[in-house]
Amino acid sequence: MSRLGTITRRSFLVVSAAVVGGVAFGYYKYQQDPANPLTPAKGETIFNPWVIVRTDGVTVITPRAEMGQGVQTTLAALVAEEMDLAWDQVRAEHGPASSAYTNFVAAGASLPFIDYRDSRMKHLAEGAMDVMGKFLGIQATGGSTSTVDAFVRMRQAGAAARYVLVQAAAKRLRQNPMALKTEGGAVVAPDGTRLSYSELAAEAVGIAPPSEPKLKDPKAWTLLGKSLPRLDMVAKATGTAAFGIDTRLPGMLFASVRANPALGGKMQHVDATAAKAMPEVKAVVDLGDAVAVVATNTWAAFKALQTVQVTWGPAPYPETTDAIFAEIAKAFDAAPHGTLRDDGNVDTALAGAKVVTSEYRVPYLAHATMEPMNAAALLKDGALTVWAPNQAPTVIRDKCAAAVGVAADKVTVHTTFLGGGFGRRAEFDYAVQAAKLAKALPGTPVLLTWRREEDMTHDFFRPGAIARMQGVVGPDGPVALKAAVAAPSVLASQGKRLLGMAPPGPDKILVEGFYDQPYGIPNYRVAGHVSDVAVPVGSWRSVGNSHNAFFQECFLDELAHEAGLDPVAMRLKLMGKESAVAARVVETAADMANWGTPAPTGRARGMAFCWSFGTPTAEIIEISQSDAGIKLEKMWIVQDVGIALDPRNIEAQMTSGAIFGLTAAIQGEITFARGAVEQQNFSDYDGLRMPQIPLFETRILQTNPHLSGVGEPATPPAAPALANAVFALTGKRIRALPLNKVVTFAT
């Protein structure tokens, strides 16, 4: 029996025990809907946590962070579709921090199941995690879950609002509700009489909606499935969009911080005499693990911080990159933390066979968001208000409340636009610092802005990782694959920060993108080894998939080369009985790229596949050799998303994710010396520039049996596709990123 079954059942029992034991006392509350967190302003009628009717149209609460991925537009369209609104009548706001906006799908996504394999146990465990998710009440944007989580709930919110508006119109017009129709934000009678939603709102809000309002047949959709103008487009194009760093309040002061360059090290002594003497400086605040300067403007705070003399303690981890990776490698000496796939008999298959052995390595990576970490806070009359570009408002609320010493219901969180997130803004450190500054200066709003150098060096990084792999390949492809991955645990690290404990059960993130791929290898084992290196780590776009796809997809290419097999044909054979959906994605990409015909002289192609966040993704890249170095010519991307709610937005995420992955593959690396991060700014941690970006051709398929995420799945295949293309072009098999340490790329 596959060890996957054993581990999964054990994990399910752990989850079930938590629900029955620790959470059972809250089950009654689970069955109750959370209180509506919205309070109507003058001229507003609130129907439910997602729908506000105003005189000029309908405002949809879209409680997921808008960080450029277009989620605000897609979520608003879910409600607008069911309410039969014209798109120009729709407005969107993020709304408050509230358990009413809990992300249920994110909790279930942490379970160690294989997405393309359906089972009763999988559904039972996901149901148990729904209970846990509702009890924890975490409102968060991440894991490519926003649209999947909202797909039913927000359509139901729109359908419920439409139902009561129709009932109110029927009562006023003395008509049968079935005789009325809705269009353009109005109820229309058979004789042409139109009653706008704003006219009906006061009467409708007192009518009870059905518990399960009827949803439209997708064939009747007029907004969903179309490429809509983004709701944030005009504001961002005209410079009027309000990001966190733009927050301004009367009497506001401005701050910045310095923390130990050796991450997690203590602050032993501070001499701020020179800073305090500067006329623009209003306060110097000891935050415990960092020192902050508050001044009349941000630049003054930056300058004053440079004069503060601090004695820092040592790092709680090895001081150099090589020593850190030596520590990670020691994890292989211990028993695996979990073996999430163990098909067949790997040891027997390897014994006496010709074994291909390889070791791969990826570096630590920064998020490098365009907008540095920042937050504003005001503590007044026992209540705390926070303005922050963040991915987890309820976490920000609770952590800031604890830091300041007020109840959570005394904290208001305003989530602004985010100038990039990628998982970094799911953390709360920057907001807690702002809250502490507000406590130090009660009654005065303070905007905290990190210097770019502070942001780059004090991240929660994508962890470095090592993979050791062995494979046996026959004439038709691999007959055995044994893989071990060692890395610090993102799951444990985030769990300790958020909940004070590492989640129980196997660490899915450690091996995701490896154990859960649709490859029918007869003898197939994937084990994860957790390293305790104390460098802070966190979620980075596609998380564990970002390195495991590189490991597996490059090693599969090695095995294909060893056997003289075509990489695409070999993968299709492995996918055979595992997943027709995955095979269709690979076939489509190969057809688009004319894989069956040789690349032009001086060019080569590479391909890779990864199933992540419910979405199978195939990428093929064509590169060329020039005098200036390797040039990225064109990339083909295919995804099967089940239901394409907004094709243009999905395509934007496909290319965005691929560029993110290509940047990391070519030049992304965080290194350490004397315990400190060496990279300081975009000058030494750069992104790909426009001339370096390949042409893109994308295709969206809709045969996947369920709706799936699109924000991250295009990132994992980018690095292995490029590395495989580099091998095809140069004959160099590069097993460690970034690639520019071995080959030169044109700029």
At residue 365, φ and ψ (nearest 5 deg) are: -135, 145
Mean pLDDT for the chain?
95
Q: Quick check: 675 and 317 in contact, CB under 8 A? A: yes
**642-659 per-position pLDDT tens digit:** 999 999 999 999 999 999
Question: Residue 37 has which token pair?
Answer: 């967190």
Q: 217 Cβ partners below 8 Å, 6+ apart?
A: none
| C-alpha neighbours within 13 Å on the C-beta side of residue 131 | 20
| Per-residue pLDDT at 526 exceeds 80 | yes
Which pairing describes strands 477-488 and 523-531: parallel, antiparallel, or unpaired? Answer: parallel
| Per-residue pLDDT at 7 exceeds 60 | no
Split at pLDDT 50, 70, 90, the class of 564 is very high
| Distance from C-alpha of 582 to C-alpha of 466, rounded to nearest angstrom | 27
Percent of the chain having pLDDT more than 90? Answer: 91
| Per-residue pLDDT at 3 exceeds 80 | no
Split at pLDDT 50, 70, 90, the class of 20 is very low
What integer pLDDT is reported at residue 32 of this predicted model? Answer: 62
Q: Which domains does the chain have, with CATH numbers?
A: 33-103+138-236 (3.30.365.10), 244-314+373-449 (3.30.365.10), 322-365+461-741 (3.30.365.10)
187 or 135: which leads in pLDDT: 187
* Length of the chain (residues): 747
What integer pLDDT is reported at residue 109 of this predicted model? Answer: 86
| Distance from C-alpha of 144 to C-alpha of 422, rounded to nearest angstrom | 10
| Per-residue pLDDT at 741 exceeds 50 | yes
| Per-residue pLDDT at 16 exceeds 70 | no
> Rounded to two decimals, what is the model's pTM?
0.95
Q: What is the mean pLDDT of residues 311-335?
A: 99
| Distance from C-alpha of 448 to C-alpha of 375, rounded to nearest angstrom | 5
At residue 332, the 3 state secondary structure works out as helix
| C-alpha neighbours within 13 Å on the C-beta side of residue 628 | 7
Q: In the chain, what are the helix, strand and coil shares in percent, each to the nearest 5?
A: 40, 25, 40
| Distance from C-alpha of 466 to C-alpha of 324, rounded to nearest angstrom | 12
**84-106 per-position pLDDT tens digit:** 999 999 999 999 999 999 999 99
Q: What is the mean pLDDT of residues 135-143?
A: 94
Helix (H) or strand (E) holding 637: strand 629-640
Cis before residue 209, ω within 30 degrees of 0? no
Question: Residue 699 has which token pair?
Answer: 């295709």
206 or 19: which leads in pLDDT: 206
**368-422 per-position pLDDT tens digit:** 999 999 999 999 999 999 999 999 999 999 999 999 999 999 999 999 999 999 9
Q: Which of 11-25, 389-403, 685-699, 720-734 has the lowest mean pLDDT?
A: 11-25
**419-450 per-position pLDDT tens digit:** 999 999 999 999 999 999 999 999 999 999 99
What integer pLDDT is reported at residue 17 of this predicted model? Answer: 38
